[in-house]
């Protein structure tokens, strides 16, 4: 097993790496750590204590601290109490776990996160996908390489892992809840799998072949989609993608090209077809993105978390949500897209926010007042463009500047002492 691991890890782990391993204390993760040690690959350990099996949860953490201290391995741990949560505990634990791993990676510049999933885990995942009626990539199972996450034990069975642990006289912690059939994965592992094995002792071979063939087909599809992605999508800015509606003419609900939308959280082809045929202004949303029908195109944009936030802006350099500086100046000039000059007696703090329906202002070098919505329409801004614009107001919510576009004339200064505002 060690020889096979050494050969395999060289193929999936880049030469320049700084890795952290997610370790529960169970036999799988301890074996992964030992294989890495024997391969002379330096690594750190990350552990989550969910308080689900007290006192065993605390004993797991103590065991791992001792293991890492003995073997001179950097150890990171976090306590997150899930003992009071009743539903979707495993899903929540997984979310917390990977968020923690990613935060550690950013802070400590870890290039890769390793987990100890193996062949048996992969088969269980496939059966869970079938049971839950998963519609995409049902038989591909767990990805061995998923961005910065590597799972180098997916070429080994649980039996091989246990054999290695026994032969090398390793110590590990047993999770007693694995024998309880509370979770779907446990029921599949403890009830369904033994029956499959009774019918065919070599059942794993068939599953391994199925997963392998499914991955080959998935790779072919992904290769095709990558080759056509630039034909269908144009990346306008960091978070906005544009696609011409006529590109999708002639495609039906079963067309493979619609898989391009899945990375943005859209899985219903019928929903995509509707937005492609919709009039301007129609929006559909996933958990992460929005699609806007905009004349002869659709625009895809990541959903922002700061649309409804208001930020106080004070004298000096302000960095949230972006850099904006307010300073006293003895001279003033005509406003520009990056710089304006206003009366120095304005009440502080100023405020920065997004557009609200009903907003109006008095545009510089224009007669009277104008609704901001009408101004945006005249400027031919899409809904997504409007969402991106920041509006600077005084303490009483009077608009001073639609940043990067037009200043309000009521407090503008073009000569003499003033406040200079720049972005």
Please report the pLDDT score of residue 307 as a whole number: 57
Please report the pLDDT score of residue 356 as a whole number: 85
Average pLDDT for 252-268: 90
Residue 81 pLDDT > 80, yes or no? yes
Average pLDDT of the chain is 90
Q: For residues 326 and 138, which has the higher predicted lDDT (pLDDT)?
A: 326
Cα–Cα distance, 73 to 406 (Å, whole number): 57
Residues in CB range of 408: below 8 A, 6 or more apart:
361, 362, 363, 364, 398, 399, 400, 401
Cα–Cα distance, 43 to 32 (Å, whole number): 11
Nearest to 350 by CA among 378, 374, 373, 327: 327
Q: What are phi and psi of 249, to 5 degrees?
A: -60, 135
Please report the pLDDT score of residue 21 as a whole number: 96
CATH number of 2-213: 3.40.50.620
Cα–Cα distance, 138 to 131 (Å, whole number): 10
Residue 305 pLDDT > 70, yes or no? no
Helix (H) or strand (E) holding 243: strand 240-244
Q: Which of 20-24, 270-274, 343-347 has the highest mean pLDDT?
A: 20-24
> What share of the chain has pLDDT > 90, as a percent?
65
């Amino acid at each position: 097993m060690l020889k096979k691991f050494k050969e395999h890890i060289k193929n999936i782990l880049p030469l320049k790496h700084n890795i952290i391993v997610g370790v529960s204390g169970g036999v799988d993760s301890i074996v992964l750590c030992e294989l890495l040690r024997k391969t002379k690959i330096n690594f750190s350990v990350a552990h989550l204590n969910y308080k689900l099996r007290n006192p065993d949860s605390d004993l797991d953490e103590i065991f791992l601290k001792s293991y890492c201290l003995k073997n001179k391995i950097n150890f990171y741990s976090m306590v997150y109490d899930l003992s009071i949560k009743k539903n979707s505990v495993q899903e929540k634990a997984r979310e917390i776990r990977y968020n923690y791993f990613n935060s550690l990676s950013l802070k400590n510049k870890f290039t890769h996160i390793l987990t100890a999933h193996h062949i048996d885990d992969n088969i269980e995942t496939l059966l869970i996908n079938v049971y839950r009626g998963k519609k995409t990539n049902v038989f591909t199972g767990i990805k061995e390489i998923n961005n910065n996450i590597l799972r180098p034990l997916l070429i080994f069975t649980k039996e091989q892992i246990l054999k290695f642990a026994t032969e090398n006289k390793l110590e590990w912690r047993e999770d007693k809840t694995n024998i309880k059939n509370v979770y779907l994965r446990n029921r599949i592992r403890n009830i369904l799998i033994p029956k499959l094995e009774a019918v065919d002792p070599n059942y794993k071979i068939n599953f391994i072949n199925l997963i392998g063939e499914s991955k080959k087909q998935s790779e072919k599809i992904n290769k095709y989609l990558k080759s056509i992605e630039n034909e269908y999508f144009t990346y306008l800015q960091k978070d906005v993608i544009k696609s011409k509606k006529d590109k999708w003419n002639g495609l039906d609900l079963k067309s493979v090209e619609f898989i391009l939308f899945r990375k943005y959280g859209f899985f219903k082809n019928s929903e995509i077809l509707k937005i492609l045929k919709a009039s301007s202004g129609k929006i559909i949303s996933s958990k992460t993105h929005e699609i806007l029908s905009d004349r002869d195109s659709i625009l895809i944009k990541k959903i922002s978390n700061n649309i409804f936030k208001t930020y106080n802006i004070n004298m000096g350099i302000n960095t949230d949500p972006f850099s904006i500086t307010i300073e006293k100046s003895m001279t003033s000039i005509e406003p520009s897209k990056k710089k304006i000059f206003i009366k120095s007696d304005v009440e502080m703090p100023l405020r920065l926010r997004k557009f609200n329906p009903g907003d109006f202002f008095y545009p510089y070098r224009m007669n009277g007042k104008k609704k901001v919505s009408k101004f945006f329409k005249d400027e031919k801004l899409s809904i997504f463009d409007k969402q991106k614009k920041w509006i600077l107001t005084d303490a009483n919510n009077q608009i001073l500047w639609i940043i990067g576009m037009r200043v309000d004339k009521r407090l503008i200064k073009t000569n003499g002492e003033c406040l200079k505002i720049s972005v």
